[in-house]
Structure 1
Amino acid sequence: MSTAASAIASPRDPYKRRKTTRGNFELYGWIFMRASGVVLVALIFGHLFVNLMAGDGIKAIDFAFVGGKWTSPFWQVWDLLMLWLAMIHGSNGVRTIINDYAEKDRTRGILKVLLYTAAVVVIVVGTLVIFTFEPCPVGAPAELLPSVCFD
């Protein structure tokens, strides 16, 4: 009985992490995931309510609707918070998965660099879109423009 039990390898044998002194980074990551998850739920449900329930539903969502919303700094900040928190929250979750399942240090490093690069690109491009969006482009058909363009 003891020989059969000793023949089964420990689940952690193939991959043993090196001990590092990273301080409380994992603890702060864990706390961030819980806090950002709660804030994201509020942001997302608020976003869905305003976009789908308060107005005329999904048929009303078009360029004019988004253009009208993004003329308000409130909605710009709302969508910016949603973008940043969702990307950082998701990236932190994928980082944890990479740490758990990538066995080789080199593979883990490459995957993390790709992850961080993708997250930064999406955050930067999304932030630029939110703050440089022009709701009243020159030469656009009048029926597609929000009402704020005619004031």
Structure 2
Amino acid sequence: MTTIADPKAPRTPRPGPGRRSTRGNTEMYGWLFMRASGVVLVVLIFGHLFVNLMQGNGVKSIDFGFVAGKWANPLWQVWDLVMLWLAMIHGSNGVRTVINDYAEKDRTRLVLKALLYLAFVVVVVLGTLVIFTFDPCPPNSPADLLPSFCTA
């Protein structure tokens, strides 16, 4: 018969020279951040949903023009940026915790965290660039390809 270790029991440190515990105040601050960012994200997400779905004609009115008009206002650019950053940090911290809990080999943990951090950077950089460089009316574009609200 196989015995399964108690999941609530503290994990024994892996042997090795110069190993020190990485669980200290950092984990407590991560835990506190998850709670605070979760509350802020709920407010940001419900505000986002309210504006996108309740004001106007619902989901059928969300199109290129709606997003262009919304992002013409710096308030909504910052709103969406904060929502993107907080969601990515919150989610990445959660996945990092899962990796720490379930990846048993140090090398596996290192590779998974490296991939996680790479994905985080790519999504945050691309999302930030899209929010701040979005131009619904690029100059020197053919008039037939521009939305109706652009002056050719």
- Under TM normalisation by the shorter chain, which class is it? 0.7 to 0.9
- Tell me the CA shift for residue 11 of structure 1: 3.5
Instruction: Name 2:92's counterpart in structure 1.
Output: 91
The partner residue of 1:10 within 5, 13, 18 is 5
Distance across 2 between alignment mates of 1:110 and 1:72: 40
- Tell me the CA shift for residue 22 of structure 1: 5.3
Asked if the contact 2:77–2:132 (Cα under 8 Å) also holds between the matched residues in 1, the reply is yes
Give the match's secondary structure for 1:110. helix
Instruction: Spell out the pairing of 1:135-150 with structure 2 (5 A cutoff).
Output: 135-137=136-138, 138-139=141-142, 141=144, 144-145=147-148, 147=149, 149-150=150-151
Asked if the contact 2:136–2:147 (Cα under 8 Å) also holds between the matched residues in 1, the reply is no
- AA at the equivalent of 1:27: M
Residues 21 and 119 of structure 1: CA distance in aligned 2, closer, same or farther (over 3 Å): closer
Give the match's secondary structure for 1:144. coil
Instruction: Name 1:25's counterpart in structure 2.
Output: 26
Unaligned runs of 5+ in 2: 15-19
Unaligned runs of 5+ in 1: none
Aligned residues: 142
Distance across 2 between alignment mates of 1:30 and 1:140: 52
- Tell me the CA shift for residue 23 of structure 1: 4.0
| 2:60 pairs with 1:59 | yes
Give the match's secondary structure for 2:46. helix
For structure 1, which segment, 132-141 or 15-24, has the greater mean C-alpha deviation from structure 2 after superposition?
A: 15-24
Percent of counterpart pairs with the same letter? 68
Distance across 1 between alignment mates of 2:59 and 2:4: 55
For structure 1, which segment, 33-42 or 20-29, has the greater mean C-alpha deviation from structure 2 after superposition?
A: 20-29
- Tell me the CA shift for residue 8 of structure 1: 3.8
- Tell me the CA shift for residue 139 of structure 1: 2.6
Instruction: Name 1:37's counterpart in structure 2.
Output: 38
Distance across 2 between alignment mates of 1:76 and 1:20: 41
Write 1 or 2 for the structure with the bigger share of helix: 1
Distance across 2 between alignment mates of 1:43 and 1:144: 29
| 2:113 pairs with 1:122 | no
TM-score, scaled to structure 1: 0.84
- Tell me the CA shift for residue 10 of structure 1: 3.4
Q: State the superposition RMSD in angstroms.
A: 2.3
Q: Which has the higher contact order (CA 8 A, sep 6+)?
A: 1
Instruction: Name 2:17's counterpart in structure 1.
Output: none
